[in-house]
Chain A
Amino acid sequence: MAQIGNYALLLALALSAYSFVAGIFAIITSGEMSERVGETARRAGIVVFVCVLLAAVALVTAAFRNDFSIAYIFHHSNRDLPAPYKFAVLWSGQEGSLLFWSLLLAGYGFVLRLRYKTDPRLFAYASVVMAGVQIFFLLLVNIAANPFGLIDGPTRTDGSGLNALLQYPEMVIHPPMLYLGYVGFTVPFAFALGALIMKYPGEKWIRITRRWTMVTWAFLTCGVFLGSHWAYYVLGWGGYWGWDPVENASLMPWLVGTAFLHSVMMQEKRGMLKVWNMWLVFGTFWLAILGTFLTRSGIISSVHAFAQSSIGTWFAYFLALTFAVFVFFFVKNKDHLRSEHRLESLISRESSFLFNNLLFLLLTLDVLWGTWFPKISELVQGNKVTVGAPFYNRVAVPVALFLLLLTALGPLLAWRKTSFESLKRNFKWPMILSVAVALFVMFTPQSWGSIFGMRPWKDISYFYSLMTIFLSSLVAFTVASEFYRGGRVISEKTGQGMFASIVQLTHRNTRRYGGYIVHIGVVLVMIGFSGSAFNQEKEMEMGYGDKMDIGSYQLVCRSYTQDDNANQFTEWAILDVYQNGNKIGSMTPQRIVYHASNQPSTKPDIRSNFKEDLYLVYEGQNDKGQPVIKAHVNPMVIWIWIGAWVMIVGTGLGLVESAPAPVTVRAPRVLGRATPAAPVVTGD
């Protein structure tokens, strides 16, 4: 297996290099020879995918065959590892995950090269850029982090096992999603750089890459939320986001990518922000690579960075090289990126996009600064400092709230110019209803639930939560009003019911209304976040029959026991849960020790409903052998996961082709009488 894998990777590197060099030759020359060479470059790029796929299959096969002569398999697998996790071995360590990255990149390149007929010349440029990035990752897996390296000394009979924290079903899908997101941003970057180099006329490249960008963004969104869900369900500290450098690394390209998805509309519709969009595409790609650099170089300490090595230098050079190449072509061809229109008014959709981009970028800078500050502090004053949640909560939360305000305002602003009157008219009811919601949440008795009775003057976190609820309501009501107004117009024209009209409206402009659904998803996520101000927690040693009260729950320890199998040793407590005197169920938080790695981990038990989560952690045992139980009541958490799904659904809807709208064309007026309007369906 090791030999097959090694040869496949070497061949892939050689073919990538050929695809890159031959691709450049075909671009800079002309004639029949040039075309033929270009075609071989394209085909070589396609075969790269086959070779890297072969290498990945070889590695997974080695995991299934327990081939512990391969060092990577020895360190990340063992005989009794359940089958699904043998697949996860591919991305659970440094070398394997770089191979997986190469595979995904080759996969994207494969699809790109198959679809070259859309615009052969632009695709040829993009293909060369993709090949350049591919060479870097193949150099890594061939030289610096070879997954097929053999173990020193005699072959072991069993492996060290997979990291305990990774033995969770979500881990089988979280990294692939995240990587699909990271790697996928190479495609819009490749098109952008290609368009910049060849001075591509018009905005066609933006339209070509729109779907790529949206799909990639959806993968990254999925990856980020799956990671968050995994942290909540596996790490057992009761939270879902710890502002860890590795979490931040995934957030930064997501933020810049989101900014790009917004500002790209200005280029498509108004021919503006061309320079800005070029930098946003580059920034997203660059931050995705920077995130990988952070995770793997060990330059910044993180609880997640389980794959550290000396490959940081390679990434540093690659980051510098891509920056230099991009800046060179930008400076050379920036005249090509002149804006076509002027801004007519500050109260317009254009300026809302500008401020939206500014806020996304500020958030990114805050996160980047916070992530790097410990290192900067060490360089400047000789000692490290910690930059944790309190910093980000103070710095990033206000910016996020401003962003939420813009999310509410943006859809109500027209392109070019909006009058105050129009803004007032459209904003009146959403504002009244949102204020009513905020007042309701503020003055309702706390006995109604954890999030009610938010007195903002009591604590800054309550204030932020109330603002979040208020602004989220504002976004939701403005989106609802947009659907209602559009639906009403169609309903009046066609005589259909409101629901059918709204469905038709959405179908006519899936991108716009899909976007609104994504905004609703964001609102739900933000409402979920707002509940964190009301989290409660309690810890107790619990013998038989001992009781713990938390929130509206009472926990009674019924029993505690343990179990042992080939893969793991487990101990757990059985707790009966009562609410208002009625038993509502039993919960079993666990602690697991995996034999192969001898690593302990907790497996919390979570009882979730729309109002709150009851989250129990088995922390360990006291001297008497009784379990130590930590209980959390976390309000509104489920809305984060629902919101994430809604965001994905909205993105999916945005990818659906819009239906052509019937356009009413008036026939010429005959003297003395009006001719009825004739509906004509156009393809526009």
Chain B
Amino acid sequence: MAMMCVVVFTLSGAGDPASRFTEVGHQLMCVCGCGQILLECNHVGCPSSDGMRNELMAAIGRGDSDSLVEQTFVQKYGPTVLAAPTTAGFDRAAWIMPFVAMVLGFGIVVLVVRAWKNRPEPAIADGLHPSAGAELEQFREQARKETDL
């Protein structure tokens, strides 16, 4: 899983120039009101998507960077043309909040687990010697098999 995090971080910014049209086109929305990703908008007689796709193709043909293409579209169509919030200004909150929730959530679960582990064990009647170690493990395994729990 740690490896997964590293790879995700490394690959997040990667981009094959040949597939840039598809990649950037999936980061933009059609502005006709259909609420679909630009390259997925298929509704009959859409007044916007064809023109937007041509503009995108032209921008990539000119060699504009991804961010420049996105800026150009935002200037022309407004911020809702981007399919996801940016990483600037208040939009950052959209990205930060899930991360904060995850850290907080894991923190709370770890605290709960520790608190539960630290609870005093129930007292055992005098003269009884509870099983421990390998013997206890063996009993548990047996109980698990026999009860299917």
Contact = CB atoms under 8 A, between A and B. Distances in A.
B144 to A, nearest CB: 5
Nearest to B23: A459
A459 B8 contact: no
B144 A390 contact: no
Contacts of A384: 79-80
Given A417-B140, A620-B44, A342 B121 contact: yes
Contact of B1 (A346, A351, A402, A505): A402
A303 B36 CA distance: 9
B123 interface: no
B84 A387 contact: yes
Contacts of A302: 35
A414 B144 CA distance: 7
A343 B78 CA distance: 53
Contacts, number: 165
B106 A381 contact: no
A591 B42 CA distance: 12
Interface string A418-442: 0100100000000000000000000
Contacts of B1: 402, 405
B94 interface: yes
Interface string B90-110: 110111011001100110010
A303 B34 contact: yes
Interface in B15-49: 16, 26-27, 29, 34-37, 39-45
29 contacts: A238-B42, A239-B40, A242-B35, A242-B40, A272-B116, A342-B116, A343-B117, A345-B117, A346-B113, A351-B113, A354-B113, A362-B102, A366-B101, A377-B85, A383-B78, A384-B79, A385-B79, A385-B82, A389-B37, A390-B27, A398-B4, A401-B4, A402-B1, A405-B1, A415-B149, A457-B7, A463-B7, A467-B4, A601-B44
**A-B complex: 7 closest residue pairs judged by Cβ atoms:** A343-B116, A388-B83, A342-B119, A391-B84, A460-B11, A390-B84, A303-B35
B36 A387 contact: no
Given A386-B84, A414-B144, A416-B140, 20 more contacts: A269-B149, A303-B36, A339-B116, A342-B116, A355-B109, A369-B97, A373-B85, A373-B93, A376-B93, A381-B90, A385-B94, A386-B81, A387-B85, A391-B85, A399-B102, A456-B7, A460-B12, A508-B148, A591-B44, A602-B42
A630 B42 contact: yes
B146 to A, nearest CB: 8
A237 B117 contact: no
A600 B44 CA distance: 7
Nearest to B82: A386
Nearest to A591: B44
A356 B31 CA distance: 39
Interface residues of A, number: 77
Contacts of A361: 105
A521 interface: no
Given A236-B42, A463-B11, A619-B44, A354 B94 contact: no
A365 interface: yes
Residue of A272, A383, A390, A619 with most partner-chain B CB within 10 A: A390
Nearest to B5: A398
B79 A383 contact: yes
A373 B44 contact: no
A355 B105 CA distance: 9
B137 A463 contact: no
Nearest to A344: B117
A358 interface: yes
Nearest to B140: A414
Contact of B29 (A388, A416, A489, A620): A388
A377 B91 contact: yes
Interface in A587-618: 591, 600-602, 617
Interface of B: 1, 4-5, 7-8, 11-12, 14, 16, 26-27, 29, 34-37, 39-45, 78-86, 89-91, 93-95, 97-98, 101-102, 105-106, 109, 112-113, 116-117, 119-121, 137, 140-141, 144-145, 148-149
Interface in A492-510: 505, 508-509
Contacts of B145: 489
B90 to A, nearest CB: 5
A602 B41 CA distance: 12
Contacts of B42: 236-238, 602, 617, 619, 630
Given A385-B80, A401-B4, A486 B105 contact: no
Given A354-B109, A380-B90, A365 B29 contact: no
Contacts of B90: 377, 380-381
A301 interface: yes
A343 B119 CA distance: 8
Contacts of A366: 98, 101
A390 B113 contact: no
Given A390-B27, A460-B12, A661-B148, A370 B83 contact: no
A185 B89 CA distance: 39
A548 to B, nearest CB: 16
A458 interface: yes
A346 B114 CA distance: 9
Contacts of B98: 362, 365-366, 369, 395
Nearest to A367: B98
A362 B101 CA distance: 7
Contacts of A509: 148
Contacts of B14: 459-460
Nearest to A513: B148
A162 B36 CA distance: 23
Interface string A651-673: 00000000001000000000000
Given A237-B41, A460-B11, A390 B79 contact: no
Contacts of B94: 369-370, 373, 377, 385, 387, 391
A395 B12 CA distance: 12
A386 B80 contact: yes
A358 B11 contact: no
